[in-house]
Amino acid sequence: MIIGVSRAAEPASPRIASAATIRTLVSPASIAVIGASDDKTKFGGRVMHYLLKHGFAGRLLPINPNRETVLGLPAYKSVSAAPEPPDVAIIAVPAGALLAQVEDCAAAGVGGCIVITGKLGEADAAGAALEASLVRAAAKTGMRLVGPNCLGIINPIDGVALTSSLAMEVDRLTPGTVGIVSQSGALMGTLVSRALDYGTGFSRCISVGNQADLELCDFLEYLVDDDATQVICLYVEGLKTPDRFFAAARRAWAAAKPILVVKAGRTEEGARNAQSHTASLAGSYKGFLTACDAAGVVVMNDPISMVFAADALARLPRPSAPGLGIAAIASSGGSTANFADQLAGTRLRLATMSPETRFAIEAWAPAAHVHISMDTGSFAKGTSAEGIQAVIRAFMADPAIGAIVYPMTTSPRMAEYAALLPALSREGGKPILFTMLAGQVGDDARAQLKDMNFPYFDRVADVLTTLQAMDDYAQTRVKGLAPPATRPPGAGPAPQAPFVQGTLTETETKRLVAAYGIPVTREAPARNAEAAVQAAEAIGYPVVVKGVARAISHKSDAGLVQVGLPDAAALRAASMQIFAILDRMAPGTHEGIVVQEMVHGVAELIVGTKYDPDYGPMVLVGFGGILVEVLQDVQLAVAPVSPQSALAMLQRLKFWPALQGVRGKPSADVAAAVDALCRLSWLAADMGPRLLELDINPLILRAAGQGAIAADGRATVSGDGSA
Amino acid sequence: MIIGVSRAAEPASPRIASAATIRTLVSPASIAVIGASDDKTKFGGRVMHYLLKHGFAGRLLPINPNRETVLGLPAYKSVSAAPEPPDVAIIAVPAGALLAQVEDCAAAGVGGCIVITGKLGEADAAGAALEASLVRAAAKTGMRLVGPNCLGIINPIDGVALTSSLAMEVDRLTPGTVGIVSQSGALMGTLVSRALDYGTGFSRCISVGNQADLELCDFLEYLVDDDATQVICLYVEGLKTPDRFFAAARRAWAAAKPILVVKAGRTEEGARNAQSHTASLAGSYKGFLTACDAAGVVVMNDPISMVFAADALARLPRPSAPGLGIAAIASSGGSTANFADQLAGTRLRLATMSPETRFAIEAWAPAAHVHISMDTGSFAKGTSAEGIQAVIRAFMADPAIGAIVYPMTTSPRMAEYAALLPALSREGGKPILFTMLAGQVGDDARAQLKDMNFPYFDRVADVLTTLQAMDDYAQTRVKGLAPPATRPPGAGPAPQAPFVQGTLTETETKRLVAAYGIPVTREAPARNAEAAVQAAEAIGYPVVVKGVARAISHKSDAGLVQVGLPDAAALRAASMQIFAILDRMAPGTHEGIVVQEMVHGVAELIVGTKYDPDYGPMVLVGFGGILVEVLQDVQLAVAPVSPQSALAMLQRLKFWPALQGVRGKPSADVAAAVDALCRLSWLAADMGPRLLELDINPLILRAAGQGAIAADGRATVSGDGSA
């Protein structure tokens, strides 16, 4: 469960793996390599070679019916012919030979089998059938499967390079605290290879492929509990068990281990690719983002940027709070000016330095040349180590500054100046993001920092995505996990009466939201024009009259709405006109007309609910009318929401300033909008999959202090009470 | 002049350099190095060393009063003591010794002097005075200056490394067709150093520093005419002569040489940095963007991205048209899915492949696995050179595809597959953007392409900025240079009557726009309530009444506007109320009231003019009311504009769809809006600096075919007819 509210149970993974099982797979004491070979151009040759090269210290069992020895080790005809059942067998034989090998492993008592072979479930129906038979064969003896269509496991902490990935051609695996779980093996190898160049250290990197048996969440849960792992990167194509995923994410948040994730399916093409690739259904990307927001997960777009950001979170001090400003320093006026300008495309900003900071820097540079993006070339005595240190220490002492960026250009003493930064960052407790803009002439500085186990960057763009991810994570630390939402008084319970299947009328929808304490327009149904006039007496003119027919959901377009009717004569005429339309468009099935009070306000919102089959009940808000249609300016959150979260949703709308009174207009009743959003979110949470979606459009906001009122609405409910 | 319309003349650069002068500076036959030394830690040591290392073939004259020889060459006590006056002297002595050296060079008959020394004009008043005296000293004999505060000239075509930049530590300078002019020397060295790693070849790279004498435009004009240069990169802090800049840009466009530019001052902090750095005033960034749009210049944000994009424009075929879709291919489902997803953040899009393309690819992969972002791992027989070639050839043949991206992950045969691409790109005539996502394990593929003189990338983000720049440039080829605008009938001339200095009233503003054929509301002034009633008889009820006072420009806020007055009684009451306010707020100075027809429409725009002191007359359009205030959704163009350009401005507004009828609303009269925009642009062009700014707000658009009408307006004119 995501948020403590019951919803349709996900089918659980058939067998949740124990922590000990996963630990053994990731750090095995013995490994059988099926198809082991001396030949590095072959799969089994590369695996053997990489395991030996990167220092596997356990027992290695080459399996090859045609060889006595492989790379000097005694080889065995089959896994079952080996002197002991290994903790792990790794296998990449063609599909035709796969089942027999897996059966042999299972029979021999292997703990887990890593299946590299592809073209199974992701390829076609025959592949899917074979994949299912592998799982059944393994389950017979309790053996677990990783993959198929995966690339294995890289565990630099324990020297286990259990993969055929060419990323292992690197000289040395650097152990560290960044863990990865990836549905794409090639992408994982690529990320490891790229990041090792920068000195990033990894704990455990697991490629899960098609997840036929063990899945991403099995390894995610393991990493959350793994002391060696402090930051987690995930490449996800589709989640098999969203509830399990977000439960693990919440535990990671509680353990202060950032989770960064890139997920396929932001676009339809991406989703189609993912399905071709690992047979994963991508699900709703917007729903995923929303659920991540509630669980403290940071979502990114570029996998390489993700690993750079993870490295910074692992090896640098983290900003103490979200939203802090940035300072910069370099010996080039060009790079400092451009760095300042490049912030314009982001939601980051330069800090405003304190008078003390300015004063400290004025000891080094004339006042007119002291900037928050500081060019050391303007130092009165020129760039110097002392000056650089003094400016950075001043930045470190300034509470408005959260991070310092050093975009270095070609200049004398590059490595010497770079070497100052690790101590300054440690001492000041703030991240310094060093960026070597030059090419190979800057390699000495890069090597210097790599030797000092300090991250560096090559591009301002990477610094910016890293700072944004660091800020996103700082944001999750401050706002905590959403909710602690508490039910507002009088919100619910949902009416128990059986709902109509499908679309609710405006009147039925309003009854539902009114049961949660959301004010709705005063209104009364009428079967004819005279009844309408009688109803209007009680409501008071001017009034609105609407025709009601379940089949017609766009009432205005059909001519079924007339507003601002000033008196009985106008109402009578309008009612007759609407009845004529109803009789023509929905003869015998319409439900007559409804007379409503005419409400004026200073702004109109759309608020609503949506039930996501993967990620559960959600609540949404946007501006009404043309704004929502053209700008798609809508915010979504997992339901229920707390008032703080509801306010944050409103504040993230582009048109948020419009609620606060623009051009002398009065400000709108934001508190009433927040209250309506919270109440609606409880309706969504309570009804779960029974309420597929509901829109109040418009929710009319009166001036501050005067409330909000639902003026129209519609909803879709599932007929049988289940999704 | 930017657009053929006269405006206040910029102070011309005192002496425009002849093409021959610049050519000699960039390709000198003889060079004097003042302060020449054997010691590479010294400025004069590095310059000597780099000139020799990179093969300077002319005469090299070391100047050093304390040495007989430098690096084996005879040294001279001063430039005037050398056996011949060199084409160029390069100098970096401290400020105190600078004037004497420059005077000595001038006296000796040196052609041009490159002054590296900084802390002159950019530092303080004393530095500025010294800088001015250098220029005077040089001018005495016709010697030209580059700098001060620059880093010199790198000319790989002729083997001239006339700089102390550490970028010259690179083994070899690759000649090529990319030229650079930069106000930041360190940034230029950095860009050269970075790009050389990727195999980019350069023609001439010139650092202009403070531009005390020769300026960016002198070198830009040279590059436009230089046969060796085919693509031009500019790093600009502030333009000294915008007219000259854009005239050169138009010539470059005509010669089909793309100009890419990064300009400081996108943010205020960037502008302040630029001023500290080279004493450049950044000017209005928005004005700069607008003028670049009219002159076919592509503006970018990151200097490194700029050089990558320039390299792609130099070494790859260019897309044949703007707006074409993209195709991708790689051996990883992860990287192809993620590539598709990363397009979502840009204005690029994947192509929709033709049935023929799909058919061709289905020979290699099952139909369900054929995607426009194609994973070769799903080939029935696995990834192969033949399959890669077949898919790329199919993409090449598809007219909907403008460019192909290959985001490669770690996999077997990386270099072998990369090596296929140069021939495929050449043969198909479309760019292939190869991206090596892996780290050093991918270096063989990088080296392979570098050897084949084919560009490669390391990051998808760089591919995306490059593709966007290529598309921007393709866009300029199609739309041509703005305008050919032709004056609409009845637009102007501007009234000759002397204008009031400062703010114009609504009535005066409307007279001005009416003279250009823009419809304005029917209206009449009135000195009292009875006169208003009389005026309304002719106009027809309902009417609007407004109070007129030059000093009160926000009439609504002051209570000086009442709308929808249905009859004489209402008008009389409103008029008296407004007169009371006028008498209180502007006693004795107000101009009475004006009665106007009441106009209804389906949309409201703000249209206006703005005179930019650097970039000349401009016209703007945005949505009225809250939309413009919250979203800042405004488009600007250099005036005058053609109808095509005016329509394009409207289409670029985020709310453009709203003009076309949303939710059953009628569509607005876009043609009338286009016409008003064109006419207004001619008013701006004709009046030049006399019209500082003018807003029509709102321009009310009626339904399509029913016209547009200016309902309110204000303007500011300069008193003496000059800016």
Taking CB atoms and an 8 Å cutoff, what residues of chain B touch A194?
Answer: 437-439
- Over the stretch B195-241, which tens digit does the pLDDT of each residue have? 999 999 999 999 999 999 999 999 999 999 999 999 999 999 999 99
Q: Are A618 and A287 in contact (CB under 8 A)?
A: yes
**B708 CA to centre of own chain:** 32
| CA count, 13 A, side-chain hemisphere, B522 | 12
* Partners of residue B635 on adjacent β-strands: B621
SS3 B696: strand
Taking CB atoms and an 8 Å cutoff, what residues of chain B touch A368?
Answer: 124, 276
Whether B3 has a pLDDT exceeding 50, the answer reads no
Taking CB atoms and an 8 Å cutoff, what residues of chain B touch A336?
Answer: 273, 277
SS3 A611: strand
- Which residue of A lies nearest to B662 if distances are taken between CA atoms? A626
Give A160 to chain B, closest Cα distance, Å.
19
Which of B304, B311, B305 lies closest to B177 in space, CA to CA?
B311
Q: Are A56 and A161 in contact (CB under 8 A)?
A: yes
- Which residue of B lies nearest to A461 if distances are taken between CA atoms? B302
- Inter-chain residue contact B439 with A655, CB threshold 8 Å: no
Measured CA to CA in angstroms, residue A258 lies from A187, A322, A366, B255 at distances of 21, 14, 42, 53
> Could you give phi then psi for residue B61, rounded to 5 degrees?
-115, 100
Question: Encoding tokens for residue A167?
Answer: 């990323």
Give A204 to chain B, closest Cα distance, Å.
18
Closest CB to A269: pick one of B262, B340, B345: B340
Beta-strand relationship, B73-74 and B69-70: antiparallel
Of B279 and B635, the structure prediction assigns the larger pLDDT to: B635
Which of A47, A190, A416, A663 should one mutate to test binding to chain B, selecting the residue with the greatest count of B CBs within 10 A? A190
Question: Encoding tokens for residue B522?
Answer: 């029917």
Burial class of residue A540 in the structure, from the number of CB atoms within 10 Å of its CB (0-12 exposed, 13-18 middle, 19+ buried): exposed
User: What is the pLDDT, as a whole number, of residue A498?
Assistant: 57
SS3 B302: coil
Beta-strand relationship, B713-717 and B502-504: antiparallel
Whether B267 has a pLDDT exceeding 80, the answer reads yes
Lowest mean pLDDT among A112-126, B327-341, B549-563: B549-563
Give A377 to chain B, closest Cα distance, Å.
8
SS3 A165: coil
Which of B163, B276, B326, B468 should one mutate to test binding to chain A, selecting the residue with the greatest count of A CBs within 10 A? B276
- Inter-chain residue contact A184 with B369, CB threshold 8 Å: no
User: What is the pLDDT, as a whole number, of residue B254?
Assistant: 95
Report the alpha-carbon distance of residue B449 to residue B431 in Å, rounded.
14
Measured CA to CA in angstroms, residue A181 lies from A187, A260, A448, B409, B459 at distances of 11, 11, 30, 17, 21
Taking CB atoms and an 8 Å cutoff, what residues of chain B touch A629?
Answer: 657, 662-663
User: What is the pLDDT, as a whole number, of residue B661?
Assistant: 76
- Over the stretch B120-139, which tens digit does the pLDDT of each residue have? 999 999 999 999 999 999 99
Q: What is the CA radius of gyration of chain A?
A: 31
- Over the stretch B80-114, which tens digit does the pLDDT of each residue have? 999 999 999 999 999 999 999 999 999 999 999 99
Which of B53, B151, B275, B338 should one mutate to test binding to chain A, selecting the residue with the greatest count of A CBs within 10 A? B338
- Over the stretch B652-667, which tens digit does the pLDDT of each residue have? 998 888 888 766 678 9
User: What is the pLDDT, as a whole number, of residue A9?
Assistant: 39
Of A280 and B144, the structure prediction assigns the larger pLDDT to: B144
- Which residue of B lies nearest to A365 if distances are taken between CA atoms? B123
Report the alpha-carbon distance of residue B159 to residue B615 in Å, rounded.
37
Whether B721 has a pLDDT exceeding 60, the answer reads no
Query: H or E segment at B244?
Result: helix B242-254
Per-residue H/E/C for B670-692 = HHHHHHHHHHHHHHHHHHHHHEE
If you average pLDDT over residues B50-79, what whole number do you get?
Answer: 96
Q: ipTM beyond 0.85?
A: yes
Which of A509, A510, A670, A516 lies closest to A601 in space, CA to CA?
A670
- Inter-chain residue contact B334 with A459, CB threshold 8 Å: no
If you average pLDDT over residues B291-313, what whole number do you get?
Answer: 97
- Inter-chain residue contact A335 with B378, CB threshold 8 Å: no
Size of interface A-B (CB pairs under 8 A): 322
Q: Are A594 and A523 in contact (CB under 8 A)?
A: yes
User: What is the pLDDT, as a whole number, of residue B240?
Assistant: 93
Task: Render B47-105 in DSSP notation, one character per residue.
Answer: HHHHHHHTT--SEEEEE-TT-SEETTEEPBSSSTTSSS--SEEEE---HHHHHHHHHHH
- Which residue of B lies nearest to A559 if distances are taken between CA atoms? B664
Q: Which residues contact B511 (CB under 8 A, 6 or more apart)?
A: B495
Which of A130, A144, A52, A54 lies closest to A97 in space, CA to CA?
A130
Give A83 to chain B, closest Cα distance, Å.
34
In chain A (723 residues long), the average pLDDT of successive 10-residue segments reads 37 69 97 95 94 96 96 96 96 94 97 95 93 96 96 97 95 96 96 97 97 97 98 96 95 97 94 86 90 95 98 96 96 95 94 97 96 95 96 98 97 96 98 97 97 98 98 91 76 73 88 94 92 93 91 81 89 92 88 92 93 94 76 88 92 87 79 97 94 94 95 84 40
Pairs from B128-136 (Cβ < 8 Å, separation ≥ 24)? B128/B279, B130/B95, B130/B98, B130/B99, B131/B210, B131/B212, B132/B212, B133/B99, B134/B98, B134/B99, B134/B102, B134/B212, B135/B212, B135/B213
Res. B632 pLDDT band, cuts 50 70 90: confident
Which of A170, A318, A721 lies closest to B410 in space, CA to CA?
A170
